[in-house]
Amino acid sequence: MPNWITITVDLLDTAKAAALVDALRTAALGESQSDPLPEIIGSVTARIRMEIAAGGKTVLDADATKLPPSLKSLALRMVLREGQSRLNVDSALPLGDDEKEEWRQDVRFLERIAAGDITVERSENPEAAPSVQAKTGRPRITPRVRETQDHL
């Protein structure tokens, strides 16, 4: 079982050029606003963990900051796209067609995980009690057959 990983700002440099990561960290900040990437990482991590838990086949890691290593690239792409989307649309960092398609593919992949069609690797440090409830199937309601007696 591989250890689950924590997505960090330092890992973003492995997914995109450091100059882009620096731009996402510093562009369009208010006077007292800090680096937005740690918060974006937290939001993306929480979303991915919710999708995993919804599938009901994998117990999450007890550490709420950890994700399966197989989803590292997907998580990094999601963080970078979220970072880009917070910038002005007229900026020099709009998403290209390939990036938009990659985004759609990533969302579909997460939907398949949430549907339980894809499982991810188990954690070496599983939660004792689920922090996110797995989805439940639709209730199966069948009509009762009503028996009647004819009285003559």
In degrees rounded to 5, what are phi and psi of residue 103? -60, -50
> Residue 53: which of 137, 134, 138, 136 has the closest Cα?
134
**Amino acid 124: pLDDT:** 92
Question: pLDDT digit string (tens) for 123-146?
Answer: 999 998 766 555 555 555 556 666
Residues 97, 115: Cα–Cα separation, whole Å: 27
Question: pLDDT digit string (tens) for 7-58?
Answer: 998 888 776 767 777 777 777 666 777 888 889 999 999 999 999 999 888 8
Per domain, the residue ranges of the chain are: 5-114
**Amino acid 120: pLDDT:** 94
**Amino acid 144: pLDDT:** 63
- As a whole number, the mean pLDDT across the chain is 81
